[in-house]
Structure 1
Amino acid sequence: MEFKENEPIYLQIAAHVCDQILLGKWAAEDKIPSVRDLAVSFQVNPNTVMRTYEQLQNQEVIYNKRGIGFFVTPDAVRKVKAQRKERFLQQDLPEFFHNLFLLEIDLEEIQQRYEAFKTENYESEIEQKP
């Protein structure tokens, strides 16, 4: 994973963990990688991953079984979606609309590009959904 300069690393790792949950790669009650294992895979200090896990625990996305590890909460998908949706609607969408307006991009072009994006990037996940 390539980290962005303008956002703390622990938040970027938290976003990655949440992505795994939303994509169904880590389901409710699944054990997630240990602090040490995730730190090694991202080549970061274990304290950074611990900070990530503490934040996700405070948001009730994961929980700790002492001595066993961290697990996805039963309600994690709903919580992550709600948090991300709120952020998107309050912060990202107004900027997106501003750019659409300034660049005179119509919604039909956005729809076509969105469908192409889903097909190119998430085809296997789309096929699995009921």
Structure 2
Amino acid sequence: MDFNTNKAIYLQIAEHVCEHIVLGTWKEDERLPSVRDLAVQLEVNPNTVMRTYDLLQQKSIIVNKRGVGFFLTGESVSQVKAYRKTIFLEEELPLLFRNIYVLDIGLDELKERYHKFIQENFNQN
């Protein structure tokens, strides 16, 4: 995994874990890789992974079953979406709005490109 220097590594790992959850690579109620295994896989300190897992526990995305390991909750997908939605609305959307304004992109053009993007990427007909 290539890490961005502009964001804390544990947050980037959280995004990585959330991506696996949303894409269905890791299923609800499934056991996650151990702290050590994920640290080795991502080539980071186990304390960094532990910090990630602590954050995800606070967000009710994962749960620690003492002596067994970390597991996704039964609501992990909806919790991830809520968590990521908050980040998008508070951090990313204002930057997008700024660029739309500065570049003088009209709502009609934006709407047209949005529909084209959805059709090309999600309507596999």
The residue identity in structure 1 corresponding to 2:73 is T
The residue identity in structure 2 corresponding to 1:58 is Q
Q: CA deviation at 1:83?
A: 1.7
Query: Residue in 1 aligned with 2:85?
Result: 85
Taking the aligned partners of 1:47 and 1:76, their CA distance within structure 2 comes to 23
**3-state secondary structure, aligned to 1:53:** helix
Q: CA deviation at 1:86?
A: 2.0
With normalisation by structure 1, the TM-score equals 0.82
2:113 is equivalent to residue 109 of structure 1: yes
Q: CA deviation at 1:102?
A: 2.2
What do you get for the CA RMSD once the two structures are aligned? 2.0
Taking the aligned partners of 1:47 and 1:16, their CA distance within structure 2 comes to 16
For residues 27-83 of structure 1, the C-alpha deviation after alignment (integer angstroms, 9 at most, x for no partner) is: 110011110110001101111101111111111110111111110001111111112
More displaced 10-residue stretch of structure 1: 96-105 or 28-37 = 96-105
Count of matched residue positions in the alignment of Structure 1 and Structure 2: 121
Taking the aligned partners of 1:60 and 1:35, their CA distance within structure 2 comes to 18
More displaced 10-residue stretch of structure 1: 5-14 or 85-94 = 85-94
Unaligned ranges ≥5, structure 1: none
Query: Residue in 1 aligned with 2:49?
Result: 49
Q: CA deviation at 1:115?
A: 4.2
The residue identity in structure 2 corresponding to 1:39 is A
Q: CA deviation at 1:18?
A: 0.7
With normalisation by structure 2, the TM-score equals 0.85
Distance 1:13 1:85, change over 3 A: same
> Following superposition, which runs of at least 4 residues in structure 1 exceed 6 angstroms of deviation?
none
